[in-house]
Structure 1
Amino acid sequence: MVKAVDPTISIKVLQGGVKNHFNYKASYKKISLVKQRVIARIYGDWEESYNELSRWLFTMQILDLVQLTQSCFIGFFWTFLPCIGAFKHCKPLISIDSTHLYGKYGETLLMAIAQDGNANILLIAFAVVEGETKEAWSFFLAYLRQHVKPQPGILVISDRHKSIDAALNVEGRLWKPPHAFQAFCTRYIATNFMTHFKNKNLKKVLVNAVYSKSQREFAHYFGCLRGENAAITNYLEKMPWNDSEALAQLQVGVEFSQMLMNVIEFNSKHVNTVNVYQFDRSRTTFTVEELAAA
């Protein structure tokens, strides 16, 4: 039998334990019900856990570790003060996303994620809401700006959910240019592309188009897609490609976007350089030595 108390143990493992110990094959449903009762006896049931939430957050607020906002019940927003402090030193971009919570209550968790200069991620804000709606995202973004205070000209990366787009474009909320810029997640675009066209090779061409560093390079990859299937480019042309990461950041005075920084770093590691060790007074004739890439 399984001796350790581990709520993550799968039903199949428990079924095997019952079979080996008692020589009895219990159904999946029976094992699942027993597991839920044991977890409730040790950790408390859904109602007890839900009632403990407000006390836990109140304690965190007293210890000055969290800022939170409650309302009845549009949503519940919280963020940690160390994350707010760290965000000031991150790149001027955030990714926002949601995930469904499974269990008795089944709300939706909203998150804002930042990234530092070493590409490490930092979770900076959370909210529990009833569903992914315009009102829920507006609630989350309003408190995100109030408590976390994103930098001017920040880039907001998300999927193309209509509720996010509507919330970002509400007048007077400071989530529109020049206060903030919107871009779409490449992984999301590629996943939707596969859903529609189911072609891995063309998916790679699409990703190359998204990460193009010049209009000429983009036109090349986009032309490849158009040559394969005009329906592909018709589908893609509905997306606002001008909201690129590089363009959005350069428009607000960022000297180098993250994409350009990645290119510079790649070139410094893989491109041969030249050492100039002699030149004439007029600097028209040079003697150089080519150095191998690092």
Structure 2
Amino acid sequence: MVKVLQQATEVDYGFRPSYRKVWMAKQKAIAQIYGDWEESYAELPRWMLRVQLTMAGTVTVLKTSPIKLGDQVDESTMYFHRLFWTFSPSIEAFRHCKPLVSIDGTHSYGKYGGTLLLAIAQDGNSNILPIAFALVEGENAESWSFFLSNLQSHVTPQVGILVISDRHNGIKAAHEAPENGWLPPRAFRAFCIRHVAANFSLSFKGKDARRMLVNAAYAKTEAEFYYWFDIMRTENPAMCDLANRMEYDKWTQHQNSGRQFGHMTTNISECVNSVLKGTRNLLVTSLVKSTYERLAELFVVRRQMAEAQMGIGAGSLRSTRQTGTEHPASVAYNGSHRRP
């Protein structure tokens, strides 16, 4: 965004301002449109309360911290630390989704920075569904524990959930903390093969090394897996040594017991990241509002699609009744007619 503004200024006015000047100008412009940056933090609890009052079941968890002045702590003044939020339609919808969650973090580019954490699910029709968000100070063990413990408590209490993520040490520590509720058999973890392959490429240059690892990861049978693994061993035994440092059930499809439903990456999280890219420059309350507004649009579209499918089904039912050929077992869920 800043680089785009620098280029536009250079084209229009013939000079290129520094990155810092453009960044400061952008923050002032955003404040003129959306309000004061500091006041936004004060508005946030009020806005969340209004949402909870109008949308029963919505969950928000706000953590604040006192201000420290040297060794002194001022308990009378608190500042924003972390926020977790999820909307009741997302909680309800996840009950009908695959028992799989993709999690990821992305930077916030507002005046005070921070990181936006996301949890994304997918239904049986491959529709992507954001189910939970958090604003934290950065990706570390404490912030991921805050996010995952609240995710487990409020959105994904089901047993057997699989989480796909990168291999960030903060996520690892949060998963392995017993109090967060993400240890087997309650929950399982898988690595995003795209991130694994990227790290693999740092040690073994060239596209072939990456390709062989990915092919081994996507192999659906043990025989196919060892076919690619033997090729890697022939090419460079060190490749196999590095791959063997990771538990097979966390990065190979043939040993994941079907829990990944064919999902080997966090791409569904990346899709949502791209949709929210413009909102990550906004004030804290505006950013949270944007997730509400975009999810509201999403649920309206999904409802219209469902009603359209039900309408087609109703029309088909009327048609078959008129001809006297209706057979209840031949009416599929999507309104089409086929024998079971």
TM-score band by shorter chain is: 0.7 to 0.9
- Partners of 1:164 and 1:111 in 2: how far apart? 13
- Partners of 2:253 and 2:132 in 1: how far apart? 22
Residues 189 and 59 of structure 1: CA distance in aligned 2, closer, same or farther (over 3 Å): same
Structure 2 equivalent of residue 169 of structure 1: 176
- Which of 60, 73, 76 in structure 2 is aligned with 1:68? 60
Alignment of 1:197-212 (within 5 A): 197-212=204-219
For the aligned residue pairs, the C-alpha RMSD in angstroms reads: 2.6
Structure 1 equivalent of residue 17 of structure 2: 27
Unmatched 5+ stretches in structure 2: 66-80, 264-340
Structure 1 equivalent of residue 262 of structure 2: 259
- Partners of 1:107 and 1:50 in 2: how far apart? 13
Residues 35 and 62 of structure 1: CA distance in aligned 2, closer, same or farther (over 3 Å): same
Given that 2:94 and 2:131 are in contact with CA atoms closer than 8 Å, whether structure 1 keeps it comes out as: yes
DSSP 3-state at the match of 1:10: helix
Alignment of 1:27-106 (within 5 A): 27-29=17-19, 30-64=21-55, 66-73=58-65, 75-106=82-113
- Partners of 2:206 and 2:147 in 1: how far apart? 36
Larger mean Cα displacement after TM superposition, 207-216 or 72-81: 72-81
Given that 2:7 and 2:16 are in contact with CA atoms closer than 8 Å, whether structure 1 keeps it comes out as: no
- Which of 7, 12, 15 in structure 1 is aligned with 2:10? 15
Larger mean Cα displacement after TM superposition, 30-39 or 222-231: 30-39
Given that 1:158 and 1:184 are in contact with CA atoms closer than 8 Å, whether structure 2 keeps it comes out as: yes
- Partners of 1:7 and 1:26 in 2: how far apart? 11
Q: Give 1:59 deviation, angstroms.
A: 2.0
| CA offsets 1:176-223 (integer angstroms, 9 cap, x no match) | 111111111111111112222231122111111001111111111011
- Which of 165, 182, 191 in structure 2 is aligned with 1:158? 165
Residues 201 and 26 of structure 1: CA distance in aligned 2, closer, same or farther (over 3 Å): closer
Taking structure 1 as the reference length, the TM-score comes to 0.74
Given that 2:218 and 2:253 are in contact with CA atoms closer than 8 Å, whether structure 1 keeps it comes out as: no
Paired positions, count = 245
Structure 1 equivalent of residue 124 of structure 2: 117
Unmatched 5+ stretches in structure 1: 1-5, 20-24, 261-294
| CA offsets 1:226-245 (integer angstroms, 9 cap, x no match) | 11112221211111112345
1:217 aligns to 2:233 (yes or no): no
Given that 1:159 and 1:184 are in contact with CA atoms closer than 8 Å, whether structure 2 keeps it comes out as: yes
- Partners of 2:44 and 2:254 in 1: how far apart? 41
- Partners of 1:205 and 1:9 in 2: how far apart? 38
- Partners of 1:31 and 1:215 in 2: how far apart? 55
- Partners of 1:89 and 1:8 in 2: how far apart? 43
- Which of 195, 200, 204 in structure 2 is aligned with 1:188? 195
Q: Give 1:169 deviation, angstroms.
A: 1.6
| CA offsets 1:148-188 (integer angstroms, 9 cap, x no match) | 13421111111111221121122243311111111111111
Tell me the amino acid that sits aligned with residue 53 of structure 1: L
Residues 129 and 26 of structure 1: CA distance in aligned 2, closer, same or farther (over 3 Å): closer
Residues 184 and 177 of structure 1: CA distance in aligned 2, closer, same or farther (over 3 Å): same
Residues 47 and 10 of structure 1: CA distance in aligned 2, closer, same or farther (over 3 Å): same
Taking structure 2 as the reference length, the TM-score comes to 0.65
* Bigger RCO (CA 8 Å, 6+ sep): 2
| CA offsets 1:9-48 (integer angstroms, 9 cap, x no match) | 63211331224xxxxx353455554444333333334223
- Partners of 1:246 and 1:9 in 2: how far apart? 45
- Partners of 1:42 and 1:34 in 2: how far apart? 13
